[in-house]
Amino acid sequence: MRYQRRVAAVGLVAAGALLFSACGSDNEGEGGGQAAANAQACGGKQNLRASGSSAQANAMTRFVTTFEQTCEGQTLAYTPSGSGAGRNEFIGGQTDFAGSDAALDGEEVQQAQQRCGSEAWNLPLVFGPIAIAYNLPGVQDLVLDGPTIAKIFNGQVTTWNDPAIAALNPGKQLPAVPIVVNFRSDESGTTENFQNYLNAASNNAYGKEASDSFNGGVGAGARGSQGVADATRNTPNSITYVESSFATRAGLGVAQVINAGGGQPVPLTPQTVGNAIENVAVVGQGNNLVLDLNSLFTTTAPDAYPIALATYEIVCSDYQDDPTGQGVKAFLTTALSPTAQQGLPEAGYVPLPDRFRQRLTDAVNAIQ
């Protein structure tokens, strides 16, 4: 590697450290120091391009705003074209990085390495909780667990007063009416992650292949997250899975979930999802932070909500074009900053727990 490139890399690592140190300070007198650190974290390619996961689109909007405010003159154009398209466009060299609900796999790993001239890394930057949202007149604070959710979504539990649901909700008046299941009719990373959860958390009682199409064999389809939220809002006695922000905006009930550890029902909050993320297992090597999401789905940690999807930013570990590597690094550094992270709950996402964010910071600092 050229000497100048090594100098640039070292300077950016130091800048990243200064940025996080400044952002974490309570000393208002250090405002000038933070501004200087932000300036040092910037640089490289001015107009970045990325595409991919629509699940992270609202988070990316916030990250881009922080990036453009922090790094004057630098921009990022993100196209939410879907995870598959994002991976293909990155591998084809049409974009500088990709957003994806799934890590690179199979032939994609080798193809991305050829595109980068180096290893490609999967960096899980955005986590979005999946709500079990319901419209059940007269019933609040519904409690469910993994096996029961699986049996609802594969048609084995068909009425709201089924003994499996009643056992989890003592004292509640559950109506003796059919459960109406609403599912995503379009291909969706949310659907795939949800079905992975159903299999993992039910010891395979769900019994259906996890893919981006719903395979439960029951219910009515609606297109998109807004579609299933609207269908559930407009249909009494119905239930769906959907990103939490859509459930909130639709005024739907959100079930509390008993995780694999048993014990108390866990409500969906940024803190309880963060508790699950804190303990998720990383199975990738080094800075390639591929996750074992089954470790999240089957968490036994107290007060940990177990259903969430992770979105990766897929990057080159060592870009052949130095300015591009510097620009991608600058964007990701600002995305990890407290300024960018603190507004995520309003958009239905979860700020990264400190320990997990530090792991990502170390990986971002290593990009060249």
Mark the binding-site residues for phosphate, compressed into ranges.
53-55, 83, 101, 188-190
Could you give phi then psi for residue 220, rounded to 5 degrees?
Answer: -125, 140
Q: In Å, how far are 231, 233, 247 from 227, measured between CA atoms?
A: 6, 10, 11
Tokens of 286: 């080094």
Q: Which of 252, 351, 357, 340 is nearest to 76 (CA)?
A: 340
Annotated binding site: 53-55, 83, 101, 188-190
**8 A C-beta contact, residue 294 and residue 117:** no
Q: What angle do helix axes 3-23 and 322-335 make, rounded to 10 degrees?
A: 10
Q: In Å, how far are 114, 166, 204, 332 from 119, measured between CA atoms?
A: 9, 51, 34, 18
